[in-house]
Amino acid sequence: MKTIKTLLSFACFLLLLQTATAQGTLTTKIAEWERAKAYTKEYLDAMPESGYALNPTPEMRSFADQMLHLTDANYGFTATATGEKSPLGLGEVEKMKDKSKANVTKVVVAGYDYVIAALKKMSPKQLGEKVKFMNRFEMTKEMVFTKDFEHQTHHRGQATVYLRLAGVTPPAEKLF
């Protein structure tokens, strides 16, 4: 009987440890999105108003369009992960007419807030659930957020070149 109680106690301990670790991972993910939001805001602030229309080549997006594309994905990826309807339709953000610095900044920050709020509502268990992404990739909800994080990092990185072309020194790297 004592052995069974010891085993049950140990199993409960492992379950609590696993739950605490999963919650810690979720807390870290939220902190990373907060950091990404602050870093992207530094890019938005650094670019002068005139640089928002900067279009390095005809095939490339303008700086404003890069940031709106990043935001469109934040809404779309998050809606897939949560199963909720996005407050903005797919592609709607990129089609915005007002591409002023003030409006783009407001929209981009709101997109990050949408991701962060969604993560705060999720449990570690929910993050482990599978979804169909882009109607063809089966992955966990956590992986959808990971792919979104990679996507926003990619486009923010591209924006470094835009800042340089506008004569602006990009914000210092913010890995931590």
Domains annotated for the chain, with CATH where assigned, are 28-165 (1.20.120.450)
What share of the chain in percent tops pLDDT 90?
75
* Tens-digit pLDDT profile for residues 109-167: 999 999 999 999 999 999 999 999 888 889 999 999 999 999 999 999 999 999 999 99
In whole angstroms, give the CA distance from residue 105 to residue 76: 18
Closest CA to 152 of 59, 75, 99: 75
Asked if 141 and 81 count as a contact pair (C-beta separation under 8 A), the reply is yes
Q: Which two tokens stand for residue 99?
A: 């591409």
Of 124, 127, 150, the C-alpha closest to 139 is 127
Tokens of 124: 């570690």
Predicted local distance difference test score (pLDDT) of residue 6: 59
Q: pLDDT band at 88, cuts 50/70/90? A: confident
The reply to whether 154 sits in an annotated binding site is: no
